[in-house]
Amino acid sequence: MRILLVASAFNSLTQRVFAELGDRGHSLRVHLTVGDDPLRDAVRRHAPELIVAPILKATIPRDVWTAHTCLIVHPGPLGDRGPSSLDWAIHEGARSWGVTVLQADEVMDGGAVWAHAGCPLPPVGKSDLYRNEISDAALEAVLRAVERFGAGDFTPRPQHGEGWDADDHDRPYLDQNVRRVDWSSDATAVVLRKLRAADSQPGVLDTLFGEEWFLHGGHPEDELGGRPGELVATRAGAVCRATVDGAVWIPELRRRRRTGGSAPFKLPAAMALRMALGDRLPALPEVPAPLSPAEDRRTWTDIGYREDGPVGFLRFSFPGGAMSTAHCRRLLEAYRFASSRPTSVLVLGGGRDFFSNGIHLNVIEAAADPAKESWANINAMNDLVERILNTTDRLVVAAVGGNAAAGGAMLAAAADEVWCRDGALLNPYYRLMGLYGSEYWTYSLPRRVGAAAAVRLTQRAMPVTAVMAHRIGLVDQVVEASPQEFAPRVAHMASLLASTSDVQKRIAAKKAAREHDEAVKPLADYRAEELALMHRNFYGPGEPYHALRSAFVRKEPVRRAPPHLEPGTERAPVPRG
Ligand code: COA
């Protein structure tokens, strides 16, 4: 079917709808909304049989939706309406939610229903839910709706009249007056709901040391405490803030924009405060988390290690999947520790949401010398990946529970096995950030998918579903699991892997293969070649990287579809290498 995707952004959900419909053989075009006339032009040009809008902040003009069936994905259950659906659900502590696919008509979110799907709402941030439970439910509903449309005999259900029994919930935009935390009375549970409902955007507006900040992210803390509202500690860049009955960890902060100033962007909280306040920032104790906290502790840590017999699990989770120089170094240190343990299988990642999105573009943007910081960050990332590639005494599994992109996808590709949740999406390329890329991708990627497919993947710069990634060899196992089930499923699979009779044989074979590859071409040569090109990207004249990065971190609106999505780049499956 010829389908036109109309979206406010080529975001994770749009990418997933695009990639999954593409996997099913539909012919797809993407139009990023920038006004009614360009949309009319796109519809005229592509003559779609169906229009699907995975995320839309604008309305579709009447003449378009009367002439074409336009399906709108609404992140709310039957009867729910409004622009802050998921935010309200989290704010009010809903345990389950849903996604509805509606036909566009006069009333916003009021059209007839083509399909809907329910999902649980575990206590995590909004963007995490959006990329995981909501994304899974959206795909279920979109695929069903597209199938129904294709069959031609389905009548969508109007949201009124006989047979309509859902409660109507039409809720307004959730603004900062409602989101604001009252530190003098809000209990930890309430503070967490407010923080999570605004995570990762727009954040909760608050005042710290006399200045306005948006708070991003929120995790409970069960040991620390203090005067309500007071900052009591730092940990790995996050700040801990006391509540009336405990404390919460806040990993990131963003300054409120000042009139005429450039758009501030999110940074690790302690770093943001230090940059803004300098000497005025009161000394806060750094309270590191134990690498293996007791199971009943409620605290925040971005890197953790646990063992179950012959299997080690090195879990990491960084906001936005971004890994700064400091993150990479701490993870490498933890990796060294994990590799010193008597295990035969080491599982990396395995948590919910982003596996990794590569170097930390925000921290780089904030640095006094962004080129120098880019260089430090890519080298720290490479040190980690090199250590993974050179692990020859055990099997390393990358457990990709959420999306991975750029250097983060290559980090996974360095492992012996990549196990990917079926709902995760991979963007294994750097091109859109104006980078050649490193992380030994010129070694790992061709080894997995073949030289030709490696070039196609990195040049075409298209999202790849877990199923497609498996088909081309980028992923070894697709794990059919919900986001919450992923970790236990991986733990089970890893224990089976460690107990197979030939595990030692596999480790020996891997060691021999590494030695062979090293003799053919040392890893150091791959690194040197990649870094020579990255150095040019960072320091060379006329390179687009710095401008692209600045636009990315400041979320400058994309005024037109990225060049690789322009007409003529119809979606087709990535061929085998
Ligand atoms: N550095 C800093 N922040 C990053 C990041 C990075 N490398 N990658 C993603 N993020 C942040 C985004 O700014 C965004 O923040 P927000 O939640 O406050 O809006 C969040 O992570 C999610 O990213 P977003 O772009 O909204 O998700 P998406 O699903 O639409 O797109 C990517 C995912 C990975 C395709 C896109 O984020 C991207 O291109 N990232 C940059 C990858 C890259 O070039 N890395 C550097 C080279 S190794």
pLDDT in tens, 392-432: 999 999 999 999 999 999 999 999 999 999 999 999 999 99
Tell me: pLDDT of 567 over 60. no
Query: Does 430 sit in the ligand 1 pocket, CB within 6 Å?
Result: yes
Per-residue pLDDT tens over the stretch 472-500:
999 999 999 999 999 999 999 999 999 99
Q: Rounded distance, CA 438 to CA 452, Å?
A: 18
So what's the pLDDT on residue 128? 97
Query: Is 219 in contact with 235 (CB distance < 8 Å)?
Result: no
Task: Give the residue among 172, 183, 239, 174 at the shortest CA–CA distance from 202.
Answer: 174
Residue 38 banded pLDDT, cuts 50, 70, 90: confident
Q: How many CB atoms lie within 10 A of CB 373?
A: 20
Percent of the chain surpassing pLDDT 90: 90
CATH node for 176-280: 3.10.25.10
Tell me: pLDDT of 574 over 50. no
Query: Does 357 sit in the ligand 1 pocket, CB within 6 Å?
Result: yes
Per-residue pLDDT tens over the stretch 285-324:
999 999 999 989 999 999 999 999 999 999 999 999 999 9
Rg (CA), the chain: 24
Per-residue b/e over 444-483, b at no fewer than 16 CB within 10 Å?
A: bbebbbbeebbebbbeebbbbbbebbbbbbbbbbbbebbb
How distant, in Å, are the alpha carbons of 114, 235, 318 from that of 269? 43, 10, 13
Query: Does 374 sit in the ligand 1 pocket, CB within 6 Å?
Result: no
Q: Rounded distance, CA 145 to CA 163, Å?
A: 19
Per-residue pLDDT tens over the stretch 115-136:
999 999 999 999 999 999 999 9
Question: What separation in Å is there between the alpha carbon of 405 and the centre of ligand 1?
Answer: 8
110 vs 374, residue with greater confidence: 374
Which residue's alpha carbon is at the smallest distance from atom 33 of ligand 1? Answer: 12
Q: In the predicted model, what is the mean pLDDT of the chain?
A: 94
Query: Does 402 sit in the ligand 1 pocket, CB within 6 Å?
Result: no
So what's the pLDDT on residue 565? 66
Question: What separation in Å is there between the alpha carbon of 320 and the centre of ligand 1?
Answer: 6
Residue 161 banded pLDDT, cuts 50, 70, 90: confident
Q: Is the dihedral of CA 385, 386, 390, 391 positive or negative?
A: negative
Locate 529 and state its tokens: 């070649």
Residue 571 banded pLDDT, cuts 50, 70, 90: very low
The DSSP output letter for 470 is: H
Domain extents for the chain? 2-170, 176-280, 303-484+503-540
Question: What separation in Å is there between the alpha carbon of 517 and the centre of ligand 1?
Answer: 33
Per-residue pLDDT tens over the stretch 15-27:
999 999 999 999 9
Assign a CATH topology to domain 303-484+503-540.
2-enoyl-CoA Hydratase; Chain A, domain 1 (3.90.226)
Q: Which residue has the tokens 């803004």?
A: 276
Residue 564 banded pLDDT, cuts 50, 70, 90: low
Tell me: pLDDT of 561 over 70. no
Query: Does 361 sit in the ligand 1 pocket, CB within 6 Å?
Result: yes
CATH node for 2-170: 3.40.50.170
Tell me, rounded to whole angstroms, the distance of Cα 76 from its chain centroid.
20
Which residue's alpha carbon is at the smallest distance from atom 25 of ligand 1? Answer: 11
What residues contact residue 62 under an 8 Å CB cut-off, 6+ apart?
106
